[in-house]
């Protein structure tokens, strides 16, 4: 049985888990940013858990293509009050950040997972998380959000992404981070063309062969718009389909905006795979 050490939680990954996206930014690409409205954010979290979310992923800085970084203090002001309110909830709280200070403050406030799109490359990031018991999601990104989609290029996108992830995992493990705390994310849409993204999805078995569980996030992304021709607010069906493709190919956690729709689809998949319960 695959178990992820995730702070005070031992998360069973035998069956797929749903991570709900909770944006506290005013400029989310998906149009669901909550800004500094703590009550609205708490309601979003309550609704996500009621709809079937197993993990809440809190983000205080937009990472959409073309976005600019926000100050450390602004990000702290956006996320820490929410983490503090969620600290005793019965689901793990994840923080989506690249900043070591935000990682440290979030862990102190009760976060159980650090989800870093920069793969813990920022100076001080490894040191910020190594002595905690939080789970760590190592993601691949070519470039940085403001320019990553300008002209992404690879000689071998699958091999290069796997090599990067394993290099960053090694950097964590030599600092004493237990293997049971680590997740991998190929970084769909982060410095990748549509063809790069499709190649990564087709090759998820190669990522699984590393022995680390996979977190996959494709919800509402432009790759789905390119495939379907639909705008960001019309991609629920495509997002659910992509999540199921990822799960069928071995993903253990899917990061989504549309929790209820994903929950229903996963329930059907599980009934076929494991039998009705």
In this prediction the pTM is 0.93
DSSP conformational letter for 233: G
Q: 83 near 111, Cβ under 8 Å? A: yes
How far is the C-alpha of 15 from the C-alpha of 2, rounded, in Å? 9
What does the mean pLDDT of the chain come to?
93
Q: 144: pLDDT confidence band, cut at 50, 70 and 90?
A: confident
Q: 103 near 64, Cβ under 8 Å? A: no
Over residues 100-125, the pLDDT tens digits come to 999 999 999 999 999 999 999 999 99
Catalytic residue set: 221, 255
Q: 208 near 183, Cβ under 8 Å? A: no
- Residue 15, pLDDT > 80, answer yes
Over residues 28-64, the pLDDT tens digits come to 444 455 556 889 899 999 999 999 999 999 999 877 6
The percentage of residues in the chain with a pLDDT greater than 70, rounded to a whole number, is: 92
- DSSP string computed for 171-214: HHHTTT--GGGEEEE--TTSS--HHHHHHHHHTHHHHHTTTS-B
Using alpha carbons, select from 47, 10, 88, 99 the residue that is nearest to residue 21.
Answer: 47
């Amino acid at each position: 049985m695959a178990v992820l050490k995730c702070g005070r939680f031992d998360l069973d990954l035998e069956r797929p888990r749903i991570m709900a996206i909770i944006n506290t930014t005013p400029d989310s690409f998906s149009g669901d940013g909550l800004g500094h409205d703590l009550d609205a954010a708490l309601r979003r979290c309550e609704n996500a858990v009621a709809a079937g979310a197993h993990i809440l992923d809190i983000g205080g800085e937009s990472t959409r293509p073309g976005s600019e970084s926000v100050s450390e203090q602004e990000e702290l002001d956006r996320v820490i009050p929410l983490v503090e309110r969620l600290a005793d909830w019965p689901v793990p709280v994840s923080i989506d950040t690249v900043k070591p200070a935000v990682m440290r403050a979030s862990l102190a406030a009760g976060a159980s997972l650090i989800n870093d799109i920069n793969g813990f490359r920022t100076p001080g990031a490894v040191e910020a998380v190594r002595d905690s018991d939080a789970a760590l999601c190592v993601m691949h990104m070519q470039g940085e959000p403001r320019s990553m989609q300008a002209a992404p290029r690879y000689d071998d996108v699958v091999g290069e992404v796997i090599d990067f992830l394993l290099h960053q995992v090694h950097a964590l493990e030599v600092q004493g981070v237990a293997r049971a705390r680590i997740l991998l994310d190929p970084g769909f849409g982060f410095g990748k063309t549509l063809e790069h993204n499709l190649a990564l999805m087709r090759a998820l078995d190669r990522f699984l062969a590393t022995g680390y569980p996979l977190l996959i996030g494709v919800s509402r992304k432009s790759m789905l718009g390119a495939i379907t021709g639909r705008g960001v607010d019309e991609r629920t069906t495509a997002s659910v389909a992509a999540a199921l493709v990822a799960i069928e190919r071995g993903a253990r956690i899917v990061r989504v905006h549309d929790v209820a729709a994903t929950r229903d689809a996963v329930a059907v998949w599980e009934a076929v795979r494991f039998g009705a319960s």
